[in-house]
A and B are shown apart, each in its own frame.
Chain A
Amino acid sequence: MANVHLPSTLGPLFPGLPRHLDVQAATVHQVIDHLEREWPGIRDRLCEPGPTLRSHIHVYVNRERAKLDTPVAEQSRVDVIAAISGG
């Protein structure tokens, strides 16, 4: 299963959401589908209609910048980052 790391900004929005979790998924899109089933509403916090990733949400699969259709392998590490912006 892919090991997913989530940003600290999401935790307060979804009670019980861990910072790290293992997810069975073949793409980034499926990772977010899994999160949405467990924590309804989280997709809107990560994606815009389309869907596409929000402009300040960056996803990396094995440290390579990823999009929603990027494949995720059994041992992949998926980092979801709230990009540094604002002040």
Chain B
Amino acid sequence: MPRTLLLIGTRKGAFFLESNDRKTWELRGPFCEGWPVYHLIHDPKSGAVYAAAASEWHGQAVWRSQDLGETWTHSSEGIAYDADAGRKISKVSTLAVSDGRLLVGVEAPGVFESRDEGHTWSLLSTLAGQPGSEQWDDPSNQPPGHLGISALMFDRENADRFWAIVQGVGLFETTDYAQSWTPRNRGLRADWPREHEEVGFCVHKLVRSSADGDRMYQQNHVGMHRSDDAGQTWTEITEGLPTEFGFAAATHPHDRDTFYVIPLDPGHGRTMPDGHAAVWRTRDAGSSWQRLDSGLPQRDAYVGVLREAMAVDAEDAPGLYFGTSTGQVFASKDEGDTWTQIADYLPPISSVEVAAIE
């Protein structure tokens, strides 16, 4: 049976949680010298682990470990905008890998690629010319903690096709490896004025069903949404949830209609409502929702969960995992019905990914 590896990115470095049975977990770390890690991923093809990290002092870099954390290298060679262009990179925010292509999304918004496993990088796209691009480098238009490109997601079959979220602007798709882009925000709601019809939406998290590639879900700043045509159009499915706001989301690996989300208070606190921790699940593509809180703290639990901080594995009985802004990791082996705390006292958690290790 493969081992389960949870890759935990935190504000003070990276950590691994490993288990042979998904009951007993061993913590390793911290890695990456305590740099803030925004996203930590595993490449199942090469076995490498990559971390997108940005130090207040030493800038941004992508860290790489080929031996599951025993040794690490780091590089930012090529992750830079032309000094004359006036754009600067404040952080590397998100990673995606497919078929030997490693992408990193950065702030100010841009996508860099590596074809040599993260040793060297080159600029792939800034989505220049897309509606809204004339404004998204303006710091006055950027929300606090701006991530720029906050997420990248490859198509499973076609490495020329991937999706990118520009924080506070919307979702974009390319089918020709970033030569051209199409906004994919039709049907989304926005409760604020917008200058362009197709952008100006605040997409927090995009997930795609493993069982049906046309089925996507997204947690938006305003509402949960579902797509049945791979993001071309969206339908709101918020009704039945306690709030319309949140960050983290996950799809069931085998059932396209089952989806998980963690609603948060939409104000400045952005913690679970009323101090009661809960994950919410739909089994009918958003027509109804069930509150899942067995094993989660139900008193004075003012915890947040960020956009990359929930993951689901691909076992027959899938395991769900999420990490909190207060350093706990919770796991469920029964599709969310019951939860167990498997780590505590970690630094604030930015991302949780899961990998099966042979």
CB-CB under 8 A for A49 and B80, given A9-B33, A44-B61: yes
Give the interface SS of chain A, mostly helix, strand, loop or mixed: loop
* Residues 26-76 of A contacting B (Cβ, < 8 Å): 41, 44-46, 48-51, 54, 56-57
Are A46 and B77 in touch, CB under 8 angstroms? no
Chain B residue contacts of A44, Cβ below 8 A: 58-59, 61, 76-77, 80
- Contact with A54, one of B57, B61, B75, B83 (Cβ below 8 angstroms): B57
- Let me know if A13 and B58 touch, CB within 8 A: yes
B115 within 8 A of A: no
Query: In the complex, are the beta carbons of B59 and A54 less than 8 A apart?
Result: yes
Task: Assess whether B82 is interfacial by the CB under 8 Å rule.
Answer: yes
Chain A residues with CB under 8 A of B82: 49
Question: A52 — nearest CB in chain B belongs to which residue?
Answer: B83
A17 at the interface (CB under 8 A from B): no
Closest chain A residue to B60, Cβ basis:
A44
Residues of A near B57 (CB, < 8 A) are 7, 9, 54, 56-57, 82-83, 85
8 A Cβ contacts from B154-200 to A: none
Establish whether residues A41 and B75, one from each chain, have CB atoms under 8 Å apart when the complex forms.
yes
Q: Provide the main secondary structure of the chain B interface.
A: loop
Closest chain B CB from A46 CB (angstroms): 7
Is there a chain B Cβ closer than 8 Å to A12's Cβ?
Answer: yes
B residues less than 8 Å from A10 (CB atoms):
58
Given the interface pairs A44-B61, A50-B83, the reply to whether A56 lies near B56 with Cβ below 8 Å is yes
Q: Which residues of A contact B77 (CB under 8 A)?
A: 41, 44
The proximity string for A residues 73-87 relative to B, scoring 1 for CB distances below 8 Å and 0 otherwise, is 000000000110110
Q: Which residues of B contact A49 (CB under 8 A)?
A: 80-83, 88
Residues on the B chain within 8 Å of A85, using CB: 56-57
Bound Cα distance A56, B76 (Å): 18
Q: Could you tell me the distance between the alpha carbons of A25 and B61 in the complex, rounded to whole angstroms?
A: 28
User: Which residues from A are CB-within-8-Å of B55?
Assistant: 9, 45
The answer to whether A9 and B76 touch across the interface, beta carbons within 8 angstroms, is: no
Top 8 A-B pairs ranked by shortest CB distance?
A49-B83, A45-B58, A82-B57, A50-B83, A49-B80, A56-B57, A44-B76, A86-B56
19 interchain pairs (CB within 8 A)? A9-B57, A10-B58, A12-B33, A13-B58, A13-B74, A41-B75, A45-B55, A45-B61, A46-B58, A48-B59, A48-B80, A48-B83, A49-B80, A49-B82, A51-B83, A54-B58, A54-B59, A82-B57, A82-B58
| Interface of A toward B, CB cutoff 8 Å | 7, 9-10, 12-13, 41, 44-46, 48-51, 54, 56-57, 82-83, 85-86
